[in-house]
Structure 1
Amino acid sequence: MSPADPVRRPSSRHRVIEKLRSYPAWIQRALPVLGLALLLWVLEIIDLFLGGWLNQFGIQPLEPSGLPGILFAPLLHSGFGHLISNTVPLVVMGTMIAWLTRRWWLITAGIWLLGGLGTWLIGGIGTNHIGASVIVYGYAAFLVAYGILARRFTAILAAVAVVLLYGGIVWGFLPMNPRISWQGHLAGAAAGVLVAFADTKQARRDWRERREALGGG
């Protein structure tokens, strides 16, 4: 007789994946957003022990050596106050996008890269730009533009919620405080609108499909 095959127990990684798959869809869609927020906090805690050493890797406008900051800048913050001010709107609006579009990864990547490039182009020479606010402003602009373009009730409702909850962020476009990157805010918002327009075709297709489903034809 051949020996019985050993019983293979699922690895801890597989158990975690299976556990995540058991969550409702609306929770699963929010998990990547929460994961990004957690990464921001982990990096800020590490940077606390490094004495702010990581912050040198922000966006340094018009400097070739500052181009890598396009990737790193949204992950870095000047302190926990700065991080807290970005975390809540990042999670709230990021989750809205994840629920509305199911394309959170692509939308975030587009805002991240375009917003960072815009900051590199228009930011003041000799400055260093860090913080997830470029993403936050991109999310806000995307949601408002998406609500107009998609013409879906939920998208319009999300746009209205953004205006009511975060309408005050428009003051961030003004060069009132030299320690605040208004250029990053402006570039992030512009990126959000561009990404929304790029997504318009898919958004309108989604709207037509829902209308046809409701109309039965």
Structure 2
Amino acid sequence: MSRSDEVRGLVGEVKAQIGILGGFVGLMWALEILDLFLGGALDQFGIRPRSLIGLRGVLFAPFLHGNLLHLIANTVPFLILGWLVMLRRTSDFWPVTLIVMLVSGLGTWLFASPFTIHIGASGLVFGYLGFLLSRGYFERSFGSILMSLMVGILYGGMIWGVLPTRIGISWQGHLFGFIGGIIAAWMLAKPRSSRSY
């Protein structure tokens, strides 16, 4: 492969990453702006613990937010940690996101307080954090360990969000998102013989 082919491949990867992350964030922002006009009516599609209809929130909740401040607070870490998930392989983003959505959503549905509604992308954010922190442990390659250490230094303080420290914050979504990220790291760990970063 020539140098120009490598550059074109890299440019194509970056464009794909920008498109994926931009698409996710664009959908979140479009839905929140629509929700402002609807007076918060879309929030009913969040996770409603132990309610059959509330299971739909497993898929919808990450794209819905309580207000613009809630969305802004999730947008930046979603973009940064989501991109770090893609750094080795863009294709890692999809299984990690799916696993985290399912584990975070179902864990919240099973264990959160009844008669509550849980929305927001923070379950995904904590899932990406869990994935990035634990990938070094499961893969034990220099690059993955270095990435885990870097993410730990930059974002390790977020870990306290998995504890029930603030009323109105879905710590269950954070906790099960983080667990989902660890499960994804375990499931996607490359065999020792084929590891590289």
Under a length normalisation based on structure 2, what TM-score does the superposition of the two structures give? 0.88
CA distance in 1, matches of 2:147, 2:27: 26
Instruction: Indicate the residue corresponding to 1:29 in structure 2.
Output: 17
Q: Distance in 2 between matches of 1:88 and 1:110?
A: 21
Match of 1:157 among 146, 156, 169: 146
Q: Does 1:135 align with 2:120?
A: no
Aligned-residue offset at 1:54: 0.4
The CA distance in 2 between the partners of 1:82 and 1:21, in whole Å, is 36
Unaligned runs of 5+ in 1: 1-19, 212-217
Identify unmatched segments of 5+ residues in structure 2. Answer: 1-7
Residue of structure 2 equivalent to 1:82: 70
**TM-score relative to the length of structure 1:** 0.80
**Matches of 1:22 and 1:136, distance apart in 2:** 25
Counterpart of 1:93 in structure 2 is: 81
Evaluate the alpha carbon distance shift between residue 174 and residue 49 of structure 1 in structure 2; reply closer, same or farther with a 3 A threshold: same
Quick one: distance in 1 between partners of 2:170 and 2:10? 41
Compute the RMSD of aligned alpha carbons.
1.9
With a CA cutoff of 8 Å and minimum separation of 6, indicate the structure with the bigger relative contact order: 2
Partner of 2:156: 167
User: Could you list the runs of 4 or more consecutive aligned residues of structure 1 that deviate by over 3 angstroms after TM superposition?
Assistant: 20-24
Report SS of the residue matched to 2:114: coil
CA distance in 1, matches of 2:87, 2:194: 17
Per the alignment, residue 48 of structure 1 pairs with 36
Question: How far is 1:156 from its partner?
Answer: 2.0
Q: Of the two, which has the highest radius of gyration?
A: 1
Q: Give aligned-pair identity as a percent.
A: 43
Instruction: Give the Cα–Cα distance (whole angstroms) in 2 for the partners of residues 184 and 209 of structure 1.
Output: 34
Q: Tell me the number of residue pairs that the alignment of Structure 1 and Structure 2 aligns.
A: 188
